[in-house]
């Protein structure tokens, strides 16, 4: 059976299957708003939940290594994965090694590096897609942008490069102009330049979160299910665009993202929604 989620706490109670007096402490709003006519499935035998990490499941931290995952959040995700018979996955620009570091000891199915790495399930072997690596000389040119200021952080993911300027937001324009200047001088035709939240991602074309989602959906227990993907920025648009192939539903976080039929205000609301789906304790938001 499926339900349409709205901002009414009664809908949340119906989805969980019983009344929760704790809902009242959160007011009448769940933080989940419908922006289209799509139906959000809540059939644990037929749905899959796929989550971006930074800015979606977790609050964005000053640096990539400072994100926090509480023990209660780990337990909730493990509980939700069991309810979904394992059809809970993470789709991130982070590498699989980095995903495992921040969620340790929890292991979930995951897509890392914007689709470069795939792990179909917690106990499955991870593998990389056949990719063309970034040209070392071009990577060096982009890496030099970090010399502009100590607040600009370079994250080398091997198959891609991320230039973070959250610690120096006033230099965002300079970072973007520097990337554009390099692409004007050197050929960037084979690259995707992805602006995110205070970050520029640079990677070869041919893979993205959409191709990663498609790959993951070919494996059990995801195969044959309807994916609900939750993401927050431009780097997630490829995943949203892939959802119609699987009759999936997109949920954005913060602003409305093309392809999303529902919207959360922020990561705290995403966590609250997941706790309720997992039948977790009310009020726990990780």
Cα gap 148→257, rounded to integer Å: 31
Judge whether 52 counts as a catalytic residue: yes
Q: Identify the burial level of 21 via C-beta atoms within 10 angstroms of its C-beta, where 0-12 means exposed, 13-18 middle and 19 or more buried.
A: exposed
Residues 163-195 as b or e (16 or more Cβ within 10 Å = b)? bbbbebeebbeebbebbeebbeeeebeebbebe
Tokens of 240: 């949203």
Cα gap 246→236, rounded to integer Å: 16
Active-site residue among 23, 28, 52, 208?
A: 52
- Residues classed as catalytic: 52
């Amino acid at each position: 059976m499926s339900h349409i989620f709205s901002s009414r706490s009664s809908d949340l109670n119906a989805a969980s299957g019983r009344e929760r007096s704790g809902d009242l402490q959160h007011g009448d709003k769940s933080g989940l708003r419908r922006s289209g006519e799509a139906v959000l499935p809540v059939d644990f035998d037929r749905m899959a939940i796929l989550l971006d990490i930074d800015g979606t499941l977790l609050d964005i931290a000053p640096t990539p290594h400072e994100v926090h995952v509480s023990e209660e959040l780990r337990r909730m995700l493990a509980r939700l994965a069991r309810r979904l018979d394992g059809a809970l996955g993470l789709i991130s620009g982070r590498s699989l090694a980095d995903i495992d570091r921040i969620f340790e000891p929890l292991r979930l199915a995951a897509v890392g590096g914007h689709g470069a790495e795939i792990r179909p399930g917690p106990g499955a072997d991870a593998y990389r897609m056949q990719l063309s690596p970034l040209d070392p000389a071009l990577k060096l040119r982009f890496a030099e942008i970090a010399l502009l200021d100590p607040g600009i952080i370079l994250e080398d993911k091997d198959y891609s490069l991320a230039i973070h300027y959250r610690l120096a937001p006033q230099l965002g324009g300079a970072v973007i102009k520097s990337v554009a200047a390099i692409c004007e001088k050197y050929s960037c035709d084979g690259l995707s330049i992805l602006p995110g939240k205070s970050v520029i991602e640079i990677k070869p074309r041919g893979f993205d979160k959409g191709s990663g989602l498609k790959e993951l959906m070919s494996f059990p227990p995801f195969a044959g299910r309807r994916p609900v993907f939750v993401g927050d920025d431009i780097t997630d648009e490829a995943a949203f665009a892939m959802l119609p192939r699987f009759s999936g539903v997109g949920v954005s976080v913060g602003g409305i993202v093309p392809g999303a039929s529902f919207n959360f205000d922020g990561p705290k609301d995403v966590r609250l929604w997941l706790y309720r789906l997992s039948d977790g304790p009310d009020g726990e938001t990780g």
